[in-house]
Each structure stands twice: as C-alpha cells, then as structure tokens.
Amino acid sequence: MKRGISFVALATAALALLGCHREPKPVPVTSLAFPVVLVTGTKPNNEVSHQARVMANATQLGHMRVELYSALFDTDRNDPPIVIDSKAAVFDMKEIKGEHGTLWMMANPTGMMPIQFKLIPRDENGLTVARALVLACKYFDYVMDSDQLDERRERVRRADTMQEIVAAVGDPPEPVPVR
C-alpha cells in the first residue's frame, strides 16, 4: 500500500515538473469589482469594433446587444471579449450563450439579450495591462468626437488608478435595478 501511494505522489510530481497545465477555473461575476470595462474586437480586421465600454453592474454585463452577440457567440473565436474590473483584474469572457433563439434575434436585431458566460482569469493583470488593453481600443463607450477621444486617451495614459481609467473610458451609466 505504501508503495502505491508513493508512486502516485511521484507521478503527480513528475507531471508538475513536465508542465502539466490545468485550465484556469472560471470566476463568478459576483467576485468582480464594479464598474468594469468590457473590451471587444481585439482581433485585427474584425467585424466587431475594437471598443472599450463601461458596465456599471452585473446586470449590465449580463446583457448584450444582439448585433454584438451575433458576432461573438462563435466558440472558435480567438479574441473573446475582455473584462477588466475596478481592481484591474483581467478576464476573458468565454462560452457566451444567449437566452433567446434565432427567431427572437431576427425580430429584435438591435435589442438587448440576456447572456450567460464564463469569466476566465488571465495571467496578466494590473493597471499597466489594463491601460494597454484600453489604449489599444479604437473607440471608448459611445464617444465619436475625435478630440474628445484624444482627451480621454490622454486621461487613460495619466491614470494612477483603475477608477480613473473607468472614468476616462466613460462615466459609468446609471445602474439598472436588479429585480
């Protein structure tokens, strides 16, 4: 019996040394510090705009415009949306699933649809990573004016906290009441 236990311990140690890598464990939305910044469209020449948008709470993060969902629900995408919380923790939004089917989406092409997803923590976190991810975006929230966008980018560059980055991307919208 002792021999079997030591073999298991030896095999486990060998696998650890060989770099056996487990998938990161999903994190619940309740562990996020809100507001968060949602970054979409990180792949070059993407049909999804490379945009940073502020989400005030879990309810907002749990809803997505149909046209954005339609481009993101493909499980083969290699550029999932990125969520950066107010503590500068960075997550990939994976396995996005809408609560409505194709017929509902065709009838509501610009509607907001409840979604489910998994948040997978990234290895790289912190203010420097968050700043780089946000500065790489072509658009911030709904800002279209180039002068205003340049001013917001400068605010992100100078930001000393994640709260300053969130404010530069766009003042968080009014929270949606949870029912």
pLDDT(176) > 70: no
pLDDT of residue 109: 86
DSSP H helical segments within the chain, as ranges?
Answer: 2-17, 58-61, 66-72, 102-107, 127-135, 146-158, 162-169
Q: What is the pTM of this model?
A: 0.79
Token pair of 174 as six digits = 């009014």
Dihedral, CA atoms, 98, 102, 103, 107, nearest 10 degrees? 70
Give how far Cα 74 sits from Cα of 33, 96, 110, Å.
Answer: 27, 8, 19
Bridge partners, 139 (sequence order): 51
The residue to which tokens 């060989």 are assigned = 18
pLDDT(100) > 60: yes
Bridge partners, 146 (sequence order): none
Bridge partners, 115 (sequence order): 98
Burial classification of residue 63, based on how many CB atoms lie within 10 Å of its CB (0-12 exposed, 13-18 middle, 19 or more buried): middle
Q: What is the pLDDT of residues 15-35, one digit of tens each?
A: 555 555 567 899 999 999 999
- The pair phi, psi for residue 168, each rounded to 5°, is -70, -35
Q: How confident is the model at residue 11 (pLDDT cuts 50, 70, 90)?
A: low
Cα–Cα distance for residue pair 104/97, rounded to 1 Å: 14
Which among 134, 156, 44, 140 has a CA at the least distance from the CA of 83? 134
- More confident call, 85 vs 72: 85
